[in-house]
Amino acid sequence: MRSLTRPRMARPLALLTAGVLAAMLLPNSASADLQSDIGTAVQELLDVGRVAAPRADCGPGSMPEPGLQGDVPAADRNSGRSTLGYRCNMSMLGQFAGRGAGITSTSFEHCAYMGSFFPGDLISEGRGVQVLDVSDPANPRPTATLTEPAMLAGTWESLKVNVERKLLVGTGVPVGTGVGYLSVYDISDCAHPRLLNHGPGTNLMMPLPITTHEGGWSPDGRTYWASGIAPGFVSAVDLTDPANPRVIWQGLTGIEAHGFGISPDGNRMYLSALAGFTVLDISAVQRRDPNPQVHHIGRTFWTDGWATQHSVPVTYNGKPYLYTVDEGGSGGVKLIDISNDTKPKVAAKVKLEINLPQHIDSNIGSSMGGSVFAYESHYCSADRADNPTALACGWISSGIRVFDIRDPFAIREIAYFNPPARTGRNLELWNSPHALASIIGMPLMSAPPLARSVLEGQFNPWQALTQRSGHVAFGDVSTDWCLSPPEWRGNQLFVSCSDNGFMALQLDNDVYTAPENQQSVVGS
C-alpha cells in the first residue's frame, strides 16, 4: 500500500507556468545563477509526497483500522462500525462531550478550554467557551463558561494560551472572519479564568481595529497576533498590559494570512499562505520600535497541499526547522529547513496512506457524506522545542495521530486514536463545526489532489464509486473532525474533536516515554 510511484512528466504548459511563478517568487537575494534557482524552485513547487509514514505496530488493546492507514472505509461508515472508533496504542481515559467543540480548543495545566462555534454555541446550554477541570482525567468537569462577546461570537482558530504569563486569549469570529472583539483572561486559577480587559476588545462599544480568523502569541506573551485571512491582513496587539490591549502594528502581508508559527526569540513569523508560507521579520514589533516596520524576507510555496495552517518551530542539534501543516489537499505535514530563513526548503514530508496520490480515489469514495474535509491534517504539537521526540496531530477524519520524530528523516507513526463517530446525531451537536457544516456532503478540500490524480492517470473512478457516492448533501457525521492540537501531559494528551468534545487520551504499550523538559509546542 505504500508503494513508491514515479511522478509522471508534467505537461509543458504546466512547467512553463510553474517556471514563471517560481521566478516571481524568488527572494531578492537570489543568486546570480538564476537558471539553477528557477529549476530548484520549480522542482520544489511541483514535488508531491508519494510515500506514507510507516504504520504503527499496534499492541494489546488496539482496535486497528481495517484498510489504508488513516481511512474510515465506506462500509464501516454505513454499517455503524465507525461508531466504535479505531485505536492503536492509545486509549481514552475520560471525556466531556457537551454539545461538541469549536474548531480549535486549548488547555493549561489541569484545565481545558473548549472553543465555541457560532451560531450553534448560542442555541443550547454551555453558551460560549466552556472551562473544564481535568484534575481527574477520567472525569473532566465543567467549572465555568466564558460569555464575553468574543467567546459568544465563535473563537474559530484564535483560542490560545501563553504559558509564561498564564493568559488565555480568544477573538470573535462569527463566519470565517471576525472584526473587533478580543478578550484576555488571567488563568492563574485555571479552572476559573478572570477577565482582564473590560474595556477595549470586550465592551461592545469599544471594538479593536482588527480582523481575525486565527491568532496566536509571541513566546514572551507580550504580543498577540490576529490574522484575518483574506486579503492577508495581520495585526499585532500589545498585551504588555493585558487590561488595555492596543494595536501597535498592522498590515497587508499577501493575498491570504492564515495561521503561523513564531520563532523562540519573537523576531520571525512564519505566516501561512494559500499553499506555503512567508517569512516575516517582526523584530521591530518585538523590540517595540516606534512606528515598527515588518518586512518579507523569505518564502516557499508548493502544490502538494493547500490552505496551509500553521508551523511548529523546533531545533535538532541546534539547527532550526519547522513542522508546517496543510489544512487542505492531503498535503500532510512538511519538515522545513529554515537555517537560511530567506530560502526555506522542504526537507521531508509526513503523510498517511490515504493522503497519497495513488489513493485519492479511495479517499473520495469513503469521505463522501463527511462534509468539506476528508483526511487532512490540521493542527500539531511537538513535545518540546529542542530535539523533540514526538509530534501529535489532529488529522480531521483520521483522528489523532502520533509520530516518532526523534530522527526527522525517518519519521514513523507510533499510535492513533480515531474517536467513535456520533453518526446521525447532528442535531445534538450544536457547537460542532462538523455537524453544522454537514449540510454539505462533498469533500471539497480534496479537489486539488483529485485533479492531480486524474491528470496523472492514477484515479480509478470505480474505486471512488461506493455506496456513499450519492451523499452530496446532508452528511451523517460518520467520522469525527479532529481539528485541535493535542497537548502533551506526560504520556497523556489533552485534545478536543468537533463531535466528541474534550478527551483525555493515554499512550499505551510503552510506545512513548516523555522526555525531559516536555512542553507542548504549537508555534503561537
**Is residue 52 pLDDT above 80, yes or no?**
yes
Rounded Cα distance, 508 and 63, in Å: 13
* Residue whose C-alpha cell reads 482582564 in the numeric block: 196
* Per-residue confidence (pLDDT) for residue 254, from 0 to 100: 83
* Per-residue confidence (pLDDT) for residue 229, from 0 to 100: 82
**Is residue 96 pLDDT above 70, yes or no?**
yes
| Predicted TM-score of the model (pTM) | 0.92
Residue 319 class from Cβ within 10 Å (0-12 exposed, 13-18 middle, 19+ buried)?
exposed
Lowest mean pLDDT, pick from 125-129, 186-190, 215-219, 261-265: 125-129
Residue 121 — very low, low, confident or very high, per pLDDT cuts 50/70/90? confident
**Is residue 4 pLDDT above 70, yes or no?**
no
Residue pair 217/184 in contact (Cβ under 8 Å)? The answer is no
Number of other CB atoms surrounding residue 460 within 10 Å: 14
Query: Tens of pLDDT along 268-299?
Result: 999 999 999 999 999 999 999 999 999 999 99
Average pLDDT over residues 175-197: 97
* Per-residue confidence (pLDDT) for residue 40, from 0 to 100: 65
164's grid cell: 509564561
Average pLDDT over residues 209-221: 97
Rounded Cα distance, 68 and 352, in Å: 8
* Per-residue confidence (pLDDT) for residue 17, from 0 to 100: 45
Average pLDDT over residues 176-195: 97
**Is residue 11 pLDDT above 70, yes or no?**
no
271's grid cell: 505566516
Rounded Cα distance, 397 and 498, in Å: 10
Q: Which of 428, 379, 440, 327 is nearest to 158 (CA)?
A: 379
* Per-residue confidence (pLDDT) for residue 198, from 0 to 100: 98
Rounded Cα distance, 204 and 508, in Å: 48
Q: Which of 379, 373, 374 is nearest to 392 (CA)?
A: 379
| Residue 176 or 255, more confident | 176
Mean per-residue pLDDT of the chain: 92
The total number of residues written for the chain in this structure: 524
Rounded Cα distance, 360 and 367, in Å: 10
Phi, psi dihedral angles at 236 (to 5 degrees)? -105, 120
Residue pair 141/203 in contact (Cβ under 8 Å)? The answer is no
* Per-residue confidence (pLDDT) for residue 497, from 0 to 100: 98
**Is residue 408 pLDDT above 70, yes or no?**
yes
Rounded Cα distance, 132 and 66, in Å: 34
Lowest mean pLDDT, pick from 6-15, 463-472, 473-482: 6-15
* Per-residue confidence (pLDDT) for residue 38, from 0 to 100: 63
**Is residue 516 pLDDT above 50, yes or no?**
yes
* Per-residue confidence (pLDDT) for residue 42, from 0 to 100: 75
* Per-residue confidence (pLDDT) for residue 41, from 0 to 100: 66
Query: Tens of pLDDT along 305-323?
Result: 999 999 999 999 999 999 9
Within the chain, how many helices (H) and strands (E) appear? 9, 31
Determine the Cα angle at 312 with ends 385 and 497, to 5°. Answer: 110
Average pLDDT over residues 369-384: 96
* Per-residue confidence (pLDDT) for residue 59, from 0 to 100: 98
Average pLDDT over residues 411-435: 96
Average pLDDT over residues 235-262: 95
**Is residue 64 pLDDT above 60, yes or no?**
yes
**DSSP code per residue over 259-325:** -EEE-TTS-EEEEEETTEEEEEE-HHHHHT-SS---EEEEEEE-SSSEEEEEEEEEEETTEEEEEEE
Average pLDDT over residues 35-63: 85
* Per-residue confidence (pLDDT) for residue 26, from 0 to 100: 43
Alpha-carbon distance values, 448 to 128, 156, 302, 434 (Å): 35, 24, 12, 21
